[in-house]
Amino acid sequence: MERKFKRILLKLSGESLMGEQQYGIDPKRAGEYAAQIKEIADMGIEIGIVIGGGNIFRGLSGATKGFDRVKGDQMGMLATVINSLALSSALEAAGQKARVFTAIDMHPIGEHYSKWRAIEAMKRGEIAIMSCGTGNPFFTTDTGSALRGIEIEADVMLKGTRVDGIYTADPEKDPTATKFDSITYDEIYTRGLKVMDLTATTLCKENNLPIIVFDMDTVGNLKKVMSGENIGTYVY
């Protein structure tokens, strides 16, 4: 089986961890994700992971309800830590070693993030789960994952979502929407497609970090992407 990538950054949304629930963490979904991640770790791929916090708290929506934006974003960062701990627990239960890094010093909950420690962990076969986004307010976890992907010198960033790629319009709302097999960063911008926020997209473009947007909720898809199958949308 041909392997296209040696080291990846996997971005998961917090909402995806809700599974069938309306809030929080669905242990079944966390277990499914852990099994898929272990499957590609067993192929010898080095894996870094960034998870959002939208299933628990989102700073931007908090700001619209009267929260101070900076405090709201910090609450969102803590939400990503909760999700990261849940995923690391699910991975350990599946027999896969994982290490949680935090952008803000939170010993003993996680290890303070540094590029070198994260790379060392991945080289030892551990999954490096990098939480707290960038550690700064006003930056999304998409931007955090773009930054971490560039820092750890990942070959690609995989954005696991509910849909199977990037479409001309929202496929959940527009039945005529068609899917792109590949698309450039510039085209995403000119078409005004909502793949990631502009900061994250620009960071990936300027540092030549390609993205694959794919459906992570279909079990087995992660391995298919890693095996070079034409799944999702490739952004370059």
Mean of all residue pLDDT scores within the chain: 95
Rounded Cα–Cα distance for residues 102 and 100 (Å): 7
Confidence band for 62, pLDDT divided at 50, 70 and 90: confident
Q: Under CATH, what is the fold of the domain 7-235?
A: Carbamate kinase (3.40.1160)
Can you state the angle between helices 141-151 and 198-206, rounded to 10 degrees? 10
pLDDT attached to residue 172: 85
Backbone dihedral region for residue 102 (phi beyond 0: left; psi -120 to 50: alpha; all else: beta): beta
pLDDT attached to residue 176: 95
The answer to whether residues 156 and 148 touch, using CB atoms and an 8 Å cutoff, is no
pLDDT in tens, 131-171: 999 999 999 999 999 999 999 999 999 999 989 999 999 88
The answer to whether residues 17 and 57 touch, using CB atoms and an 8 Å cutoff, is no
pLDDT in tens, 39-52: 999 999 999 999 99
Q: What is the dihedral of CA 52, 226, 86, 150, to 10 degrees?
A: -50
Rounded Cα–Cα distance for residues 41 and 213 (Å): 19
Q: What is the dihedral of CA 129, 220, 3, 96, to 10 degrees?
A: 40
pLDDT attached to residue 1: 40
Phi, psi of 129 (to 5 degrees): -100, 115
pLDDT attached to residue 3: 52
Q: What is the mean pLDDT of residues 219-234?
A: 95
Beta strands 46-51 and 127-131: pairing type?
Answer: parallel
Confidence band for 4, pLDDT divided at 50, 70 and 90: confident
Q: Where are the domains of the chain?
A: 7-235
pLDDT in tens, 181-226: 999 999 999 999 989 999 999 999 999 999 999 999 999 999 999 9
